[in-house]
Chain A
Amino acid sequence: MVSSPLNSAGHLGRGAPSQTRKQTLHSRSAIAKRWLTTLSKHAVLIFFGVFFVLPLVWMLTTALKTDPEVLRYPPTLLPATPIWQNFPDAFNFVPFGTYVRNSLWVSFTSVVGTLLSCTLAAYGFSRLEWKGRDVLFILVLSTLMLPYQVTMVPLYVLFNSFGWVNTFNPLIIPHFFGNAFFIFLLRQFFLGIPKDLSDAAVMDGCSDLRVLWSVILPLARPALMVVTLFQFLSSWNEFLTPLIYLNDKELFTISLGLATMRSAYGLSRFSLIMAATSLFVVPVIILFFFAQKTFIQGITFTGMKG
């Protein structure tokens, strides 16, 4: 569309000189117009880009300031001298090491539980044919609509009766019993794997578990990556469940630890609070950069196959 004046100018090259000049002028304004649209596009994108990046930049620069500098007005964008010591200090200021260990343990075991239970269930819902399968699958999907508040109180009563309050069990054990969202995701993926492949394995006398393990799972690696990543992040970020069940500071996850730290210290030690927050956020962002492709795949898959 934009290049058409240029083309026509080329065609009319033999015409009267005045006309050629006019054409050149015209194409020049077209180029200017294109530049302007490109520029305005990027201006809008950069404006929003700043809005998206600024909070994280502000977190990091605050984390590197001294406490008086944090409360200086007008604020300095970059710290006068970066106080790298804030990071080790944040580690000692709160039992950050303990929180990280707890969060890692909870996230890791939740991922294991989710992978085990959801791959089995997804296999049953996709690669096996049996009566009642599709009715039960609708039940799986229907649980996605249920707000967690409905089961929150009875689950607390139940886990309390097991003596699980103030242990990691309520944060971990339920993940060994499947998750509707991930079962759905894996099932859709398993359905896309050609039947011939598993039929051949069955012909060779493989059991279903064997087929799942050596035929389906290797092919479903992208989907398994998505589940691993999403479950890990969701456990790493989880706030409400630890808040309900954990009382001992020794057992706090990072989310819970940071939230209590913030209510205990408020503004007075903001550089350290920001340093601790950075230590919480930066690993997740690094993980995101490494696994960006998996993220984008997972989001588009789950967002569009509904």
Chain B
Amino acid sequence: MQAVNQPLKFHSRRSKEIKKTLKGLAFISPWLIGFVAFGVLPILASFYFSLTTYSVLQAPRWTGLDNYVQLLTDDQLFRVSLGNTLYYTFFSNLIGGIVALSLAMLLNMNVRFLSFYRTVFYVPVVVPTVASAIIWLWLFNPQYGIFNFILNAVGATPIPWLTSPQWSKPSLILMSLWSVGNAIVIFLAALQDIPKELMEAAELDGASAWQKVWRIQIPMISSVVFFNLVIGLIGSFQVFSQAYVMTSGGPADSTLFYALYLYQNAFEFFKMGYASAQAWILFVIILAVSLLVFKSSNRWVYYAGR
């Protein structure tokens, strides 16, 4: 009796298992279909295109590694765009991180009107990129813009902002600080999450304000800082709209960012294969930088509970 029952039971358990899996797959099927159709297949296609010359109008023609070789050895603009992007990524994240962290700490010091300040700092984040590009174009205007008016008023020399190759990238970095509110809100929440006892204990031990910042607050929120640094890096490697709307990459290609040059190749010159190769190099760079940050994180990120 039992001998007969055993395989049956086993069978029914397995079919139950299969049924469960099918149900799970059914629920995630929208994502799964999208993942294959808009993720996996395009990724494979992109890799294939990157090894061809392809203009959409004609079928792709196999050229092997030519695109990569040309990009890495023979394309001046590619190098310029990569340099611009690294410059922008480095400084906008560094300065943005410092400003966000300092303002979050300031807000965390029992200031009055906390939610008012937080709102003020956050509002620019919801402003659409194209809108802020147009607004800042106006602020930066060398003759009529308010920035140069203020500089004139305090007796400083006006700055040519977006019209000079030296100033165009710093201008865009300054503009990127305008939307640092996201990080402020996140860092502030993380700071408020630090157990009160920890700060009180440090105070009893006679820690200075400076020591509290460096020995308690920064280590305690380092995992949050780290996570947002990775997100920020990935985002700024793909900076596009500001440059497209405000400068079209100029003057003298000084704001020709990686994503902008890629877009131009793909949709203005219809060099789809070439652009795909660019995208893959970008992917590798982003992966490499993320890995580097991850690796270094062991040294400076502290995870409570580990």
By a beta-carbon cutoff of 8 Å, the part of chain A in contact with chain B is 1, 38, 41-42, 44-45, 48-49, 51-56, 58-59, 62, 70-71, 73-75, 116-118, 120-121, 123-125, 128-133, 136, 139-140, 143, 145-158, 160, 174, 176-178, 183, 208, 233, 236-237, 239-240, 243-244, 254-256, 258-259, 262-263, 267, 270, 273-274, 277, 280-281, 284-285, 287-289, 292, 295-296, 299-300, 303-304, 306
Contacts and interface: CB of A to CB of B under 8 A. Distances in A.
A258 B134 contact: yes
B166 interface: no
Interface size class on chain B is 35 or more
A1 B17 contact: no
Contact of B135 (A59, A125, A287): A59
Nearest to B259: A149
B34 A117 contact: yes
A153 to B, nearest CB: 5
Contacts, number: 284
Interface in B249-297: 259, 262-263, 266-267, 272, 275-276, 278-280, 282-283, 286-287, 290
A116 B30 CA distance: 9
Contact of A174 (B34, B183, B189): B34
B38 A150 contact: no
Q: Is the interface of A mostly helix, strand, loop or mixed?
A: helix
B83 interface: no
Interface in B14-71: 17, 20-21, 23-35, 37-39, 41-43, 45-46, 49, 56
Nearest to A302: B186
Nearest to B143: A73
Contacts of A243: 244
Contacts of A1: 203
Contacts of A254: 128, 130
B227 interface: yes
A59 B137 CA distance: 11
Contacts of A49: 117, 120-121
Contacts of A277: 131, 134-135
Contacts of B28: 120-121, 124-125, 136, 178
B144 interface: yes
